[in-house]
Structure 1
Amino acid sequence: MPRLFFVGGNWKCNGSREANRGFIEELNRAELPTDKVEVVIAPMSLHVESVVRSIRPEISIAVQNVFINKGAFTGELSPSAVKDFGLDWAIIGHSERRQIFGESDEFVGKKVEACLRASLKVIACIGETESERKANKTEEVIFRQLSAIKKELTRVQDWHHIVLAYEPVWAIGTGLTATPDQAQQVHETIRRWLASNVNSDVADTIRIIYGGSVKASNARDLASKKDIDGFLVGGASLVAAEFIEIARSHLLKHSRL
């Protein structure tokens, strides 16, 4: 069975009630073949409730981050609270969390496990910096990040609730994008690692999506690659027409299956 194409929109620390309202109205009117693409949007926590109330039911909402537990952790979201609110997804390990807030590979792994324990599905982000790529350390970095996640998972089936987002840090918000061949090479490498270190079923079925200055103008070429199963979109996810076009980019891939 082909892997269901996945497009996530990470709004980061952007949005207003008025801007969100216009975006959602346009997205609700759009022709999106939701039987062939899974769409998930991650607004700021402050806006989650209003977006949930107004978005079409086929589109899911994610939070952009959680902590590993509930309790005396001012400003954080617990996985159990996110699930209790009725949400199903969380973005974990984004490079901005790793670089700005100092989240280690080990901490990211623990957060992934905490989400799965609370029955939250996870968009788990991995990727190398520009200096790491120039030093030919891409594989070393992503294998280390994957190993930290694997260490926390006690059941193979947990991987079926994870979408892996390969986001080369040097391409996030820079206007630079990995070429389709560069992205495909890393996605294929991730799949081989999973086959060797988890099992072949997980490697075949897990969705590995690409993030890093994805736009409508490059989404179709990226989507045409065998091991690219969708996108985690940053800046372009704030423009409804652009995001809708990216969500439709799977049609080219689907037509070639």
Structure 2
Amino acid sequence: MRTDDDSWDITESVGATALGVAAIRAYESGQDDALFQDPYAAKLVSAVGSDGWNNLMSGMRNLGAGEQGGDDTDLRGWSMGSVLIARTVYFDEYFAAAVRAGIRQIVILAAGLDARAYRLEWPSGTRIFELDQPKVLAFKARALADDEPGADRREVAVDLRQDWPKALLDKGFEPGEPTAWLAEGLLRYLPGHAQDKLLEQVAELSAPGSRIALNLGTDKDMADQFRERRAKVMADAGVKIDLENLFYP
């Protein structure tokens, strides 16, 4: 169960959800008609050394079997898989539009295993701040030690329930410059008051011309469908994670 001051590594609690997202991105990147390319996703998942996450990444063991629109190994045909793939495309395009608008300051809240600093094209002078738990960022640093980001990437190791604005400013964030913020797969892991506070703090740090992209939860009926299918896919892959106890209303 979650507590107000809990923390996690990449294989624990909320950290493990980043592995699931990376596994789906790795799977999509391996398709002949892939909607995006994330060559770092497979590297990050493989660095964990877990058969379960590797199974999910490769689409093995009849994942998503029986769902309309997908065969036995097609993660695109799994409702949650298709959502994560579409979400990735949407936020990739969001950043492309932001840099076309002249924004050169990027902040990724709860960055997890997001590899956009490495895999997207960034104009000269772009600064990318990645905020997440210290152990999560340390894992990513080890796994991608031989890779170079395409922009000035700055790690901000901090819990988003703490004084993250100070930590961000200490890393060179310029509040007078327009910022493109991303909160992908984040809000449901924060209690309501922390969600409100986070967005208030983002607004306070945002100069004119800033923008934010985020995703919200689904309605109850869809959430119930996701829950049943998600449990089956995870069980088939051999991944043990109790997602329902990680979410807040």
- TM-score when normalising by structure 1: 0.30
When you count strand as a share of all residues, which structure comes out higher?
1
- TM-score when normalising by structure 2: 0.31
